[in-house]
Amino acid sequence: MFKLSNNSISRMNGIDSRLIEIAELAIKITVIDFGIPADGGVRTAERQKELFIDKKSKADGYVKLSQHQLKKALDVFAYVNGKASWNTEHLAMVAASFLQAASILGYQLEWGGLWKNFKDMPHFQLLD
């Protein structure tokens, strides 16, 4: 069984408690370890704008707010062989655990890996 690191736990500070519950259950049922990157939780408008300029987000942080700014989103990375991985297959396995955890807990969760126009494999957000 895997465990969230202290860094990952601190990076979830301020996000919706339902997302924290989902992540805590997901880490217990996942077949592949994962963590929360530095930008994975709540973001400032300035940081969101930087990600928008780098074409890593569709939200500019000012006119269009990110779900991260609204505390309703969480990004992850897979952790494989002692290293962070953003490999599609690894992230899909992590996503399975998040979606299963959300279902068990009764929360509606959306995975960016299923979006049609902008694939965001590390991204999860609450729908309600």
pLDDT tens for residues 74-95?
999 999 999 999 999 999 999 9
pLDDT band at 40 (very low <50, low <70, confident <90, very high): very high
CATH number of the domain that 19 lies in?
3.30.1380.10
pLDDT at 1: 86
- Would residue 21 count as lying in a domain? yes
Q: What is the pTM of this model?
A: 0.94
Number of domains into which the chain is organized: 1
Query: Within a domain: residue 19?
Result: yes
> Within 10 Å of residue 45's Cβ, how many Cβ atoms?
14
Residue 87 domain-assigned (yes or no): yes
> How does the average pLDDT of the chain come out, rounded?
96
Domain that holds residue 95: 6-41+69-126
Residue 56 lies in a domain: no
Question: Is residue 62 a part of any domain in this protein?
Answer: no
Per-residue pLDDT reduced to its tens digit, 46-80: 999 999 999 989 899 999 999 999 999 999 999 99
